Every structure is written in C-alpha cells, then in structure tokens.
Amino acid sequence: RRRDRLSKWSNLVFTGQEPGEILNGLQQDGFSEVILAGGATINLLFAKARLIDEIIVTIVPKIFGTGISLFPEKIDLSLSLYDVKRIGKDLIMARYSVIRDL
C-alpha cells in the first residue's frame, strides 16, 4: 500500500488504491481473473470489501506450532469446499468458494 515503494519487476506496481479501484483498473486493462497473493493485511482489505470469491489452501506436511494468519484480525467468511487435489506425493490443494450472505 506504499505508493513510493519500487519494485525490481516491471510488471509489479505498488499502489495506495482501495481494493475495488484496483480490480476496476485491472478489468479495464482486460483482466477477468486475478490471484490475490498477498499477506494478511491485503487479504483482510479484499475480504472486508467482499471481493474474494475463492480461497485455495495448500496443505503441506509440516507442523510449525505457530505461524502467520491469513487475516490479521477476526473476520467471518463462510466457505464451501468444491475441489480437492493431491499434488505429487505429499501436497493437497483444497479449493473453497466464498458463500455470500443473502
């Protein structure tokens, strides 16, 4: 969210825009799907704006005891599992759709 931050990649842009503005700009540029690969703060901003429609969880056979949360504070999201795939010998990828409240 720091606009003054520079990237070593030409296709990575830092912005101070709100999540909806970011997605509108990407849509105007011709994108119809976007992967949110951010940290807990970015995840929370998009979740609060109700802009997440799918969550992919990769299960890796490691136990750390503690770790970084998907969201830095409490947020309620209802999910529906719609796909599970085994990847290689040890990994599992679970795909959930976000259930919108009526």
Domain membership flag for residue 64: yes
- Is 16 within the bounds of a domain? no
Residue 6 is assigned to a structural domain of this protein: no
Q: Considering the domain boundaries, does residue 68 fall inside one? A: yes
DSSP state of 39: -
d(C-alpha 27, C-alpha 94), whole Å: 27
pTM for the model: 0.79
* Percentage, residues of the chain above pLDDT 70: 91
* 44 occurs within a structural domain: no
**Total domains, the chain:** 1
Does residue 89 sit within a domain? yes
Task: Tell me if 69 is assigned to some domain.
Answer: yes
- Can you say how many angstroms the Cα of residue 88 is from the centroid of all Cα atoms in its chain? 23
Give the integer Cα–Cα distance in Å for 61 and 63: 7
- What is the per-residue pLDDT across 43-74, written as a single tens digit (0 to 9) for each? 999 999 999 999 999 998 888 778 778 888 99
Judge whether 43 lies within some domain. no
For 84, the domain range is 53-99
For residue range 76-97, list pLDDT tens digits in order. Answer: 999 999 999 999 999 999 999 9
Pairing of strands 54-59, 78-87: unpaired
